């Protein structure tokens, strides 16, 4: 019998009672893969469904080999197994922000590649691919990481592979490690990178003139990688929104207990408001701002603040000097006057990068302001320094404004306070700000994310064994058994302006005003503002009644008749 201290020491290094138990959770697989105890690879056939965008001609010219091979046609599992393939060497990497379920993609890959092929992990994302930092993944690794994390098994980064020198480094890595295929687990930008890599490695990498296959896997907590019925959600969204919903539910419970605070909560999700919308559907707070609606209505900052302040005042008049406001991380970019200013700001920063970098920090706002149009310069000058500093901060390697660093929640509190005072000086307004983001990206995956990612890994591995390249793995029909399918990456590419120039990118999927999830939210939000109808969804469950739950927005948007997912 060990002592309590000995038992506690045994829980170190990912051996908590919880981690040990979730490793044992059985995972369902789509019927196409056969039995869950011994899933088999599937082969693929054309569905006849062709994907196109407004820029398809330009894409065809830039990605000739990928488009010629796929004709941008979606693939579906054929119902048969591919001929046995042995000796393939496949590398897998995580790219961009972490998301729960990444480890299960690795596990699914390992299972489907079987003992006859080798799976290698790339350390620290695309940067590790450039450096050739790879190691062989073992059965013991897979048993240990199943249903856990995060991306901590491999690590991740945001390096964008774009220069000739970087492409040469990738080729060097492929040759050094004798790679046959690379799996990129990432969001819209990373899957764009996968499309570019697939074209660049299409032929002429190995001595016999053949190429290296590249397959993408759709990840991001933001939920902004969605492709209609072909991809109803990226993995990681469910886990992150359930963690945030638990926390927001707890805060809501606190507001109606202590009766004196407003809590302004900014939720991660980058540009899109999917996370904020999902958390609102789960928790029903008094106010939720949806960036896409603000852009669609061309609503000014002053009007947003007025709208918020009026709810605060009206609730106060009903005896509720408390409440919760949810704001999406990317809000600021969608307010029309801000959006126009940020677009000009991005061009100025891209065109004067060296001179800007040479300025002292306190001289930077004036340097940029003098190069903006008068109205944008005066808007920039009107903003508090904590917002200006972040608007001028370095963009990420994909050219994105780092919205997670912008304290929008504080700006909203400061401006709402002033407007509340103007509307009714007797209304008390004590507010706290929160930013929920990093807390939700690496929790143990919900059963939905765990099963979804395991099946995505099985699909990605099957595509490799079936000789495919330039596709993103997907599972369709998530509420009706699940079907492994493949989306041609080149069929998703559009031209967008980034870093002050045109680039091929996969368009971010934003919240649609006419989507069933948005419509339902709109139909209920006035009631949620007027009285306390909030719900506390509690912690995500791994055993119990909510284990098989789908995100509410995904269930509504995909026309499901219940909140449950069904794989297998």
The one catalytic residue in 180, 188, 189, 222 is 222
96 binds ligand FBP (CB under 6 A): yes
220 binds ligand FBP (CB under 6 A): yes
490 binds ligand FBP (CB under 6 A): no
Per CB under 6 A, the segment of 95-103, 141-149, 451-459, 472-480 that binds ligand FBP is 95-103
Per CB under 6 A, the segment of 93-101, 173-181, 242-250, 413-421 that binds ligand FBP is 93-101
Provide the 10 A C-beta neighbour count for residue 547: 15
Exposed/middle/buried for 481, CB within 10 Å: 0-12, 13-18, 19+? middle
Nearer to ligand FBP, 222 or 293 (CB): 222
In this structure, the strands spanning 118-122 and 89-95 are parallel
Per CB under 6 A, the list member of 404, 455, 549, 558 interacting with ligand FBP is 404
**Shortest distance, position 560 Cβ to ligand FBP, whole Å:** 25
Task: Write out the DSSP string of 286-301.
Answer: SEE--HHHHHHTT--H
Query: How far is it, in rounded angstroms, from Cα 421 to Cα 418?
Result: 5
Task: Write out the DSSP string of 192-235.
Answer: HHHHHHHHHTSBSSSTTSB--EEEEEEB-TT----BGGGBS--B
Strand partners, 287: 325
445 binds ligand FBP (CB under 6 A): no
DSSP conformational letter for 531: S
| Structure tokens belonging to residue 56 | 């398809």
243 binds ligand FBP (CB under 6 A): no
Task: Write out the DSSP string of 332-368.
Answer: HHHSHHHHHHHHHHHHHHHHTHHHHHHS-GGGHHHHH
Query: How far is it, in rounded angstroms, from Cα 517 to Cα 241?
Result: 15
Active site residue 222: yes
Scan residues 338-377 and list those touching ligand FBP (CB under 6 A): none
376: helix, coil or strand? helix
**Interface map 412-441 toward ligand FBP (x if CB under 6 A):** -----------------------------x
- State the DSSP H helix or E strand holding residue 93, giving kind and residue range, or none if neither: strand 89-95
Bond before 173 cis per omega within 30 degrees: no
Q: What is the CA radius of gyration of the chain?
A: 24
155 binds ligand FBP (CB under 6 A): no
Per CB under 6 A, the segment of 263-271, 298-306, 368-376, 532-540 that binds ligand FBP is 263-271
| Structure tokens belonging to residue 151 | 């991306």
Nearer to ligand FBP, 376 or 474 (CB): 474
**Interface map 43-82 toward ligand FBP (x if CB under 6 A):** ----------------------------------------
Bond before 566 cis per omega within 30 degrees: no
**Interface map 177-206 toward ligand FBP (x if CB under 6 A):** ----------x-------------------
Nearer to ligand FBP, 268 or 286 (CB): 268
**Shortest distance, position 33 Cβ to ligand FBP, whole Å:** 26
Nearer to ligand FBP, 416 or 509 (CB): 509
Exposed/middle/buried for 463, CB within 10 Å: 0-12, 13-18, 19+? buried
401 binds ligand FBP (CB under 6 A): no
Nearer to ligand FBP, 267 or 345 (CB): 267
Nearer to ligand FBP, 328 or 461 (CB): 328
Per CB under 6 A, the segment of 108-116, 268-276, 305-313, 483-491 that binds ligand FBP is 268-276
Exposed/middle/buried for 286, CB within 10 Å: 0-12, 13-18, 19+? buried
Using the structure block, give the residue that is written with the tokens 């041609």. 488
So which residues are the catalytic ones? 222
Q: Which residues bind ligand FBP (CB under 6 A)?
A: 96-97, 99, 187, 220-222, 268-270, 329, 403-404, 441
């Amino acid at each position: 019998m060990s002592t309590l201290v000995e038992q506690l020491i045994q829980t170190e290094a990912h051996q908590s009672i919880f981690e040990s138990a979730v490793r044992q959770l059985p995972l369902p697989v789509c019927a196409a893969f056969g039995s869950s105890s011994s899933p088999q690879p599937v082969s693929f056939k054309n569905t006849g469904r062709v994907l196109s965008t407004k820029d398809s001609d330009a894409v065809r010219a830039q990605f000739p080999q990928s488009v010629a091979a796929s004709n941008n046609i979606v693939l579906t599992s054929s119902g048969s197994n591919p001929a046995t393939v042995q000796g393939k060497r496949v590398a897998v990497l995580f790219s961009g922000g972490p998301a729960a379920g990444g480890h299960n993609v690795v596990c699914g890959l390992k299972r489907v590649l079987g003992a006859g092929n080798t799976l290698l992990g790339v350390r620290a994302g695309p940067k590790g691919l450039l450096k050739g930092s790879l190691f062989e993944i073992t059965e013991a690794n897979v048993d240990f990481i199943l249903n856990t994390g995060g991306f901590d098994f491999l690590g991740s980064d945001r390096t964008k592979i774009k220069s000739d020198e970087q492409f040469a480094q990738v080729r060097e890595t492929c040759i050094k490690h004798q790679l046959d295929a690379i799996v990129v687990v990432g969001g819209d930008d990373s899957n764009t990178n996968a499309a570019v890599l697939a074209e660049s490695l299409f032929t002429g990498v190995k001595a016999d003139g053949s190429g290296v296959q590249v397959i993408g896997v759709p990840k991001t907590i933001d939920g902004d990688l969605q492709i209609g019925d072909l991809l109803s959600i990226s993995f990681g969204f469910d886990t992150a929104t359930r963690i945030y919903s638990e926390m927001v539910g707890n805060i809501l419970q606190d507001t109606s207990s202590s009766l004196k605070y407003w809590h302004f909560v900014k939720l991660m999700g980058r540009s899109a408001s999917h996370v904020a919308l999902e958390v609102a559907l789960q928790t029903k707070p008094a106010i939720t701002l949806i960036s896409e609606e603000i852009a669609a209505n061309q609503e000014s900052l002053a009007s947003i603040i007025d709208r918020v302040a009026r709810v605060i005042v009206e609730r106060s008049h009903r005896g509720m000097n408390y409440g919760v406001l949810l704001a999406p991380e990317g809000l600021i970019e969608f307010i029309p006057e801000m959006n126009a200013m940020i677009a000009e700001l991005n061009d100025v920063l891209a065109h004067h990068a060296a001179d800007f970098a040479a300025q002292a920090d306190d001289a930077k706002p004036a340097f940029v302001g003098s190069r903006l149009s008068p109205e944008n310069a005066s808007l920039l000058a009107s903003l508090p320094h904590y917002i200006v500093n972040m608007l001028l901060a370095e963009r990420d390697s994909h050219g994105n404004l780092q919205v997670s660093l912008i304290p929008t929640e504080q700006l909203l509190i400061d401006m709402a306070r002033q407007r509340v005072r103007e509307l009714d000086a007797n209304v008390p307004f004590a507010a706290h700000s929160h930013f929920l983001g990093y807390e939700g990206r690496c929790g143990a995956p919900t059963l939905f994310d765990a099963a979804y990612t395991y099946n995505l890994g099985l699909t990605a591995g099957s595509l490799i064994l079936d000789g495919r390249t330039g596709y993103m793995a997907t599972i369709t029909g998530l509420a009706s058994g699940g079907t492994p399918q493949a989306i041609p990456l080149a069929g998703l590419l559009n031209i967008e302006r980034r870093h002050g120039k045109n680039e091929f990118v996969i368009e971010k999927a934003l919240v649609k005003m006419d989507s069933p999830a948005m419509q339902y939210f709109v139909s209920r939000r006035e009631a949620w503002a007027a009285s306390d109808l909030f719900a506390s969804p509690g912690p995500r469950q791994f055993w119990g009644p909510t284990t098989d739950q789908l995100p509410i927005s995904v269930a509504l948007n995909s026309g499901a008749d219940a909140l449950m997912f069904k794989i297998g």
